[in-house]
Amino acid sequence: MLNELITERKLPALPSLPAERQEVLHLLAENEYGFTPSFEGEVSGFTESHEITYGGKALSERILLSFPTPHGTFSFRVRVLLPVEVKPAPVFLHISFHTEENKAVNDHRIVEHVPEEEILDHGYGIVSFCYEDVTSDSGRWDGLALAYPSGGDSGWGKIGMWAFAASRVMDYLLTREDVDSTRISVSGWSRLGKTALWCAAQDERFSLAISTESGCSGAALQRGKGGETVRDITSRFPYWFCRKYASFAGCEDKLPFDQHYLLALIAPRTVFVGSAEKDLWADPVSEFLCAKAASSAFEQIGVPGLITPDVLPSAECDLYDGRIGYLLRRGEHWLMRRDWLAHIRFRDLHHV
Ligand code: GCU
């Protein structure tokens, strides 16, 4: 049944991976997210504050990360929260809507919940940065956008910039002995779920990508998608993408790929796709079918992709066995405790 539903979407066939990895990255960069500049410099972290918190259970630090760019040094803040009892600790690198002071950057602050103590108690650290500390979520060319020359129809958009920043945090984390370098995930919710996927697709040092309700231009197939379309997203948020992406509005079938290519680039590592039943704008069915369609890339490499019964899931469906994990939970567009517990369970099971 699932194969029939996928066939109806008329998806371009997956290229063979990892042999064609560079070509697939090129396709996605050229047509959707824009090209990411290469980076060879060194990232330094200055500890601005350091304290033991959560009643002695956690180390909390505020770090100012700095790195060289073609237009001078660029810096942004990162929050590091590590369980003191686990060394080195696996971490969630979470791209966040929250600022360090927990100020509202926009309404998303209210519905993006991170149950810190519970994550710590499961033996994981949380490293986070506020995406707008890198560059604003607007058409303004500011922050990191000013540090690199922008280029033409396939110049990078803001999703690419936020993803690039997460890779610089990864550079920094690899210098820390208290972080388990083999177990660093990158996660985000909604627009930042799209960002987490693009980040892990490019940066193979992440053991896991977690996207919660990333929908259009994230974990959802474009062809046959309900809810948000390329026209919707490129009219409201053109600056998230390269300019060329808008030319596919209303003709998604002309895209030389679909979003299963993005998930496939994460093989043979792990990826977790979270959907919410009532989040029709993101379209849970298209997210699920995307995970299923990407599975053959994992299987080609000899590892299982999504392991699922041959039916569409109904709410409160948790699929953890393959290298692609999937959750369809009840409820709406929100990042909640239920999501985090699923991520923890998936990580524990796969030891990623
Ligand atoms: C809008 C946008 C989505 C995005 C979401 C979010 O709804 O259309 O593509 O995922 O914002 O980031 O919350």
* Whether 190 is catalytic: yes
Q: Pairing relation of β-strands 317-319 and 324-329?
A: antiparallel
- Asked whether 326 and 286 are in contact (CB, 8 A), the reply is no
Set 190, 211, 214, 295: catalytic member: 190
Q: Is the CB of 188 under 6 A from ligand 1?
A: no
Set 113, 247, 296, 333: catalytic member: 333
How close is the Cα of 191 to the center of ligand 1, in Å?
5
How close is the Cα of 282 to the center of ligand 1, in Å?
8
Which pairs count as long-range contacts for 66-69, CB under 8 Å and 24+ apart, including other chains? 67/39, 67/41, 67/42, 67/43, 67/168, 67/171, 68/41, 68/42, 69/41, 69/144, 69/147, 69/148
Q: Is the CB of 45 under 6 A from ligand 1?
A: no
User: Which residue lies with its CA nearest to atom 7 of ligand 1?
Assistant: 281
CA distance 290 to 14: 12
Whole-number pLDDT of residue 151: 81
CA distance 153 to 139: 15
Q: How many CB atoms are located within 10 Å of the residue 66 CB?
A: 18
Q: Is the CB of 95 under 6 A from ligand 1?
A: no
How close is the Cα of 112 to the center of ligand 1, in Å?
13
How close is the Cα of 47 to the center of ligand 1, in Å?
33
How close is the Cα of 190 to the center of ligand 1, in Å?
6
**For residue 215, which atom of ligand 1 is closest to its CA?**
10
Whole-number pLDDT of residue 54: 97
* Whether 26 is catalytic: no
User: Which residue lies with its CA nearest to atom 8 of ligand 1?
Assistant: 233
Those residues whose C-beta lies under 8 Å from the C-beta of residue 31, and which sit 6 or more positions away, are: 154, 242, 244, 245, 248, 255, 256, 257
Nearest CA-CA partner of 67 in 82, 81, 79, 78: 78
Whole-number pLDDT of residue 101: 61
How close is the Cα of 274 to the center of ligand 1, in Å?
15
Q: Is residue 159 classed as helix, strand or coil in its secondary structure?
A: helix
Q: What is the DSSP letter of 343?
A: H
Distances from the Cα of 213 to the Cα of 76, 99, 192, 210, 217, angstroms: 26, 21, 9, 10, 11
**For residue 233, which atom of ligand 1 is closest to its CA?**
8
Distances from the Cα of 219 to the Cα of 39, 92, 196, 213, 320, angstroms: 26, 19, 10, 8, 17
Whole-number pLDDT of residue 109: 56
Whole-number pLDDT of residue 108: 61
Whole-number pLDDT of residue 98: 85
Residues of the chain under the 50 pLDDT cut: 104
Whole-number pLDDT of residue 37: 97
Whole-number pLDDT of residue 149: 82
Whole-number pLDDT of residue 155: 97
Q: Is the CB of 228 under 6 A from ligand 1?
A: yes
In a mutational test of the pocket of ligand 1, which residue from 33, 113, 192, 228 has the highest number of ligand atoms less than 8 Å from its CB? 228
**For residue 236, which atom of ligand 1 is closest to its CA?**
8
